[in-house]
Amino acid sequence: MAKLLEGRPVAERIKEEIRKQVQSLKNKPVLASVMAGDNAGAAAYVKSQEKNAKDLGIDYRLHKLSHDATEDQLIEFIKKLNADKEINGIIIQMPLPPQIDYKKISQFILPEKDVEGMHPVNIGKILFGKAKILPCTAAAVMELLKETGLDLYGREIVIVGHSEIVGKPLSLLLLDKFATVTVCHIGTSKAGKLEEHVRKAEVLIVAAGKAGLIKGSWIKEGATVIDVGINRVGDKIVGDVEFETAEKRASCITPVPGGVGPLTVTMLMRNLVEAVKLQIS
């Protein structure tokens, strides 16, 4: 039976480091959170960010814009936050109302205040192995892999999902560790080759958002499985991997919920501290 790779203990350890770093700073770090309109999912995420920030001694400031705010209004607001010396980090809550394109507006956040690590400058730095601020979910997966103690050098790693927040940045971070990285996506599935790739994975990372996409019987014996997926099935939250069969074959596996999730918001707070360091250096 696989060992459970739980995110909470890892998050607690990293939070302890963050707390110490926050205490050593001259000023309390300030995270500005921008929400346009009302959305239950975004509100829940904001609540969790607020709680984490408070726990770490971070000043969390929520700014609510109307659901009919325009792109230009949001960009103007971001520019104000950029210019405000008190603000160390800016996060835009998703989802945004349909008239606002996240990719467009997020580029207006100064790279040194981009705590989500999604500004092209920060993404570009990953390519050169120089990134200090990493996309939160990709960073959370890297922390979990570190926790396994596995040497990634030369490992056969398969990522399912090539989104900009998870699969793409992870592929670069793992290449930097000299792993052999295969990235699968909808084209792989349509070509009927997903199972073939998954079967060879010594480390499997899945972020597709499709419950049961990865059959437990595909998991290589002794593999490490990181399931990023979050899917609601009836009244249950499940990942993308068939957990019950996968845990019989893997050597370690993340539970869903309780694996990657608890670490993601911790990575956001760590990015804020990195942002402060960039701003004072």
Torsion of CA 207, 178, 4, 8, to 10 degrees: -80
Nearer to ligand NAP, 31 or 138 (CB): 138
Q: How far apart are CA 274 and CA 168, in angstroms?
A: 22
Orientation angle between helical segments 261-280 and 7-24, nearest 10 degrees? 20
Least distance (Å) between residue 281 CB and ligand NAP = 29
Least distance (Å) between residue 226 CB and ligand NAP = 10
**Separation of CA 135 from chain center:** 5
Torsion of CA 100, 51, 13, 261, to 10 degrees: -50
Nearer to ligand NAP, 89 or 259 (CB): 259
Least distance (Å) between residue 273 CB and ligand NAP = 19
- Residues within the interface to ligand NAP (CB under 6 A): 137, 160-163, 165-167, 184-186, 188-189, 194, 207-210, 213, 228-231, 260-261, 264
Least distance (Å) between residue 209 CB and ligand NAP = 3
Least distance (Å) between residue 184 CB and ligand NAP = 6
Element (H, E) at 104: helix 102-106
Nearer to ligand NAP, 43 or 280 (CB): 43
Nearer to ligand NAP, 188 or 276 (CB): 188
Residues 6+ away with beta carbon under 8 Å from 190? none
Strands 3-4 and 252-253: parallel
Residue tagged 């790779």 (tokens): 5
Nearer to ligand NAP, 30 or 123 (CB): 123
Least distance (Å) between residue 264 CB and ligand NAP = 4
Nearer to ligand NAP, 56 or 184 (CB): 184
Listing DSSP states for 100-134 in one string gives: --HHHHHTTS-GGGBTTS-SHHHHHHHHTT--SS-
Q: What type of residue is 93?
A: Q
User: Max Cα separation, the chain?
Assistant: 56
